[in-house]
Amino acid sequence: MKNYWLLKSEPSAWSWDEQVKAGKKGTFWSGVRNHLAKKNLSAMREGDQGFFYHSNDGKNIVGIVEVIREAYPDPTAEVGEPWVVVDVKAVKTLPRPVTLAQIKAEPKLAKMSLVTSARLSVQPVTKAEWDIVCGMGGV
DNA sequence: GCCAACGTTGGC
DNA sequence: GCCAACGTTGGC
């Protein structure tokens, strides 16, 4: 069964525009240096989808990506470090980006990791949450 | 193994 | 730019 995720990136480091330009081949999602985030990355399966969230500058969900390669060692990590990446490609740009403020204002989304674990950079999203956010985003 | 100190993230 | 939240480090 398909799982859903939320991936955070600072636009200054890696923006949605760049993800879109990477096209169908996609890119690896690097920079995760947190064990819980790593665990989430490892749990991703090909075909899973995730929200692309702009942290800091924007604070909104701007698009949807799909996992095209499952976890493998992070090429940007030091030798011997345990970090992993997955490959993702852009699938869809949200017609209406969903802001953090909107998510916080929606009672049904009060339990989203984005609200409860603000600093976790790779988070699981439930199917119910996924559908609600898609609806808010005009998908 | 506990916990204080410190560093980082990210919203405001 | 500030600071709260949280993870990590290191002394004991």
Is the CB of A131 within 7 Å of strand B?
Answer: no
Token pair in block for residue A101: 């403020």
- pLDDT recorded at residue A78: 78
Taking Cα atoms as reference points, which of A43, A50, A39 lies closest to residue A83?
A39
Given a contact cutoff of 8 angstroms between Cβ atoms, the answer to whether A121 and A37 are in contact is yes
Is the CB of A57 within 7 Å of strand C?
Answer: no
Average pLDDT of the segment spanning A31-50: 93
pLDDT in tens, A84-136: 999 999 999 999 999 999 999 999 999 999 999 889 999 999 999 999 999 99
Nucleotide lying nearest to A55, CA to C1' measure: B10
- Note the pTM of the prediction, 2 decimals: 0.94
**Identity at A89, one-letter amino acid code:** K
Given a contact cutoff of 8 angstroms between Cβ atoms, the answer to whether A17 and A58 are in contact is no
- pLDDT recorded at residue A133: 97
Eight-state DSSP code of residue A77: S
- pLDDT recorded at residue A1: 83
